[in-house]
Amino acid sequence: MTLAQHLDTVDLLRARAFAADGYHLAELALADPRGGRAEAEREALALLLADRWGPPDHIGLFGLLHRYGAGEAIPRPWDLLCTSLPDVQLWRVDGRWIVLGTRGDDGASEEDRAAGAAVRLLVCVTEVDPP
């Protein structure tokens, strides 16, 4: 996908009505970690989104993951995000959160890392506030 297609996807997810779960999650890119493409696309997309909505908030999700692991009930999609992404960039626009992150091979097994586990560029649009 191109950056223009990524922006179109973000706009489509923002405009789409939510089901009962209150979020949309999409994979924008899948890349070989050795090429660094997904991270570069994340940064480029974040710059374009920052032009629209200002600089993003950057948050690490380790604390949320720790709370989730300790048994705290974390609402969707934040439970999914904290178990998938180490950190995110996020914007609050028109009552919705736009969350952008890359899932690298940090959580992959040793075999997956050796095989070059893919890096995923993910976007989530949600009306659920971060816990």
> For residue range 60-92, what is the model confidence (pLDDT) as tens digits?
999 999 999 999 999 999 999 999 999 999 999
Residue 37 in domain = no
Q: Give the residue numbers spanning the domain of 79.
A: 56-101
List the structure tokens of 71: 């048994």
Number of domains in the chain: 1
Question: Does the pTM exceed 0.95?
Answer: no
Residue 28 in domain = no
The pLDDT value recorded for residue 103 is 87
Of 17-21, 32-36, 75-79, 99-103, give the lowest mean pLDDT range: 32-36
Alpha helix (H) ranges present in 1-131? 3-15, 37-53, 62-69, 78-84, 110-114
